[in-house]
Amino acid sequence: MSLLSCHQLDVGYRHSRTEKRLFNALSLQLRPAALTCFMGPNGAGKSTLMRTLAGLHPPLAGHVQYQGRQLEGSTAPEAIALVLTERVTTTHMTAREFVGFGRYPYLKWHLRLSTEDHELIEQSLARVQVQDLANRSIAELSDGQMQMVMIARALAQHTPILLLDEPTAHLDLNNRVEIMNLLRRLAHEENKSILVATHELDLALQTADEIWLASDQHMLVGIPEDLVLDGAFDRVFQLKGFDLRTGKIMHHDWRAKPVHVQGEGFALLWTRNAFEREGFTLSAEAPTAVRVAQQGASLQWHCGGHQFPTIRELVIHLTQSK
């Protein structure tokens, strides 16, 4: 059974006598022991839905359930950990102290952290590899570092459900991949239900067990492969050149110049990528042939009797030639 679900949920805002509806009659179940990625166009209401599911924003209609019962405010902190994108305003504390706030729902009347609490805090810092930031003031942290510390706080809360709004924002590529892989491992190895709102299409396609795709106040739900083959991503994002073979957005062949690229291994892959990005058409029948070859410890690119030490010089040569 799903730990978190919603039934006929209308999501939005009320301002005096007016109502702005973002989602209409949603009935969803967050898969147990799975990483679900929540995607949609800008302005679709992803953050508002996340807050509604966490019990921080009242629905216009319908209800959210935890373990089959309506979610109550007193239950939410021990059931759901939420990571939002808002910048933290309180800065007079260390990163370790900030992560410690994840333990507050469990504190007794004396508000003292136990040995177990301290162990969970250290484990959470280690999981996102920010132990070296533990004693630094959060005022000194970059946006990316603060994002990692906020995720550590959510892990310290030790809930069965994690809701994260753009957790990879402000992170470099390596950390984006690492965070998504970490969340996937937590879902599978610790049976957590994890929902991640993200714009990272490539990472979502690679890591998500299921995808929620916001579309016209409703939600399309499925595994990534089913939604790709159904054309759902194309319809929602109006993607131009979405390649079903690779899951990538292909660049328009604006140069309309065909090239046949030959070679082996990673060098061939990245050479083809460069030509596609530069607007060339890849074709085995093209009159212009490029061959990439390993020569000792270096690579060489051959074309029309010329030899080039880098892809850059080869591309410049072909773009300047008639």
Structural domains in the chain, CATH included, are 4-241 (3.40.50.300), 258-320 (3.30.160.150)
User: Does position 295 have pLDDT exceeding 90, yes or no?
Assistant: no
Least confident of 56-65, 87-96, 203-212: 87-96
Q: What is the 3-state secondary structure (H, E, C) of 138-162?
A: HHHCCHHHHHHHHHHHHHHCCCCEE
**Contact assessment for residue 308 and residue 301, using Cβ atoms and an 8 Å cutoff:** yes
138-158 burial string, b = 16+ CB within 10 Å, else e? beebeeebbbbbbbbbbbbbb
DSSP-based three-state secondary structure for 232: helix
Structure confidence at residue 217 (pLDDT)? 94
What is the C-alpha separation between 291 and 314, in angstroms, rounded?
A: 11
pLDDT at 125: 96
What pLDDT is attached to residue 255?
61
0.75 exceeded by pTM: yes
State the pLDDT at residue 91.
72
